[in-house]
Amino acid sequence: MVYLHRMRLMPRYAAAAFLAALVVTAGQIPAAHADEIALDGTLDCGANSEDYCPIRDKVRLITSSVSGVKEPITIHIDWIKDQWIDSLPLQDDYYVVQVAPRPAGGFRAIGILDHLTVEHLDSKRDPRDGREQSDRRSDENSNKGNH
């Protein structure tokens, strides 16, 4: 008889244990999308322009999205490595990457939002300001003469 009484209480114990576990772990689950930002810039893997970049756990993007000044930013890509491999990254390719800050510092990639290869950048408008690449280069060359 006592055995049957305990059997009827088992679902209640299981529910209570589940709720307790949920309350304990709720503080450990990060809020999704809370601090995500998009970083855009050119890939820098140390290779010659348009050479294939080897796939590692981190990539470096030259961007002004973080500080307003162009600088190399390290992005951990372990969560999106398959997507990164599928993009066939080349040195100087333009990327827009959705990232979240890492507790240990730096950024972790969540997804690739846009990717233009170097050859497409040369044949299309620059994604940063809409001007033709040739216009940007002529502006940069004229600015070099002013320094």
Nearest to 61 by CA among 87, 39, 30: 39
Domains contained in the chain, number: 1
Domain assignment of residue 1, yes or no: no
* Each residue's pLDDT tens digit, 29-53: 344 456 899 999 999 999 999 899 9
- Specify the pTM: 0.60
* Each residue's pLDDT tens digit, 86-109: 999 999 999 999 999 998 888 999
Q: Give how far Cα 70 sits from Cα of 28, 41, 100, 121, Å.
A: 35, 9, 19, 18
> What's the CATH number where 45 sits?
2.40.50.140
Which residue range is the domain that position 92 belongs to? 37-132
Domain assignment of residue 28, yes or no: no
Section 135-141 average pLDDT: 48
